[in-house]
Amino acid sequence: MADSASSNYEGVWGNRIGFGKSAALILVDFMEAYTTPGAPLYAPDVVEAVSRAGKILESARLAGARIIHTNIRYQPDTFQDGGIWVKKAPVMKDMVEGNPLAEFCQEVMPLTSELVISKQYPSSFFGTSLATTLHSQAIDTIVLMGCSTSGCIRATAVDGVQHGFRVMVLRDCVGDRHRDPHDANLFDIDSKYGDVISSKEYLSYLQE
């Protein structure tokens, strides 16, 4: 009988790293494309994640946490800044200025005082100023909410640890279009790249 994934990884992967000295909350790509029924990217689990994330965002603001939002933006018509990625995933061509599906979800709309970083690829770090911005503010921990778990969350988590950050993913504030890749990627992130925690654990950190 084959071992379960958990028993196979036990004692090898899955060490906990915890929070460092200073954390930033990063909301990854919470855009209407993922929460609008009938849209190609629609994912019901993201709708639930957005609802929970809105409450966490409010608490983070009250606690004075550093907050950063990311979205995806391409040059219309040519999409040349999307490279091979938009050829592999042409559905991403909805992410252009003026398309309602590319707007932030109302529940997590950025304040004018909060930084918005636009990206063209899954990772929030690839080709952006995110790492430099965080390092310049002496931030050593990133807390991730957003979508999708198997795409931009995973890519940001992997790049986050490679840029020297402690990575925390709020399991109840991320979502995907199917539960299997969602669960598999949370398992993998928690095993190798960061800590997958509940929003309650993050709220406790904020209170501290």
Annotated catalytic residues are: 152
CB 46 within 8 A of CB 95: no
Q: Cα 70–202–163 angle (5° rounding)?
A: 50
Count of C-beta atoms within a 10 Å radius of residue 71:
20
**Closest-CA residue to 71 (of 108, 43, 40):** 108
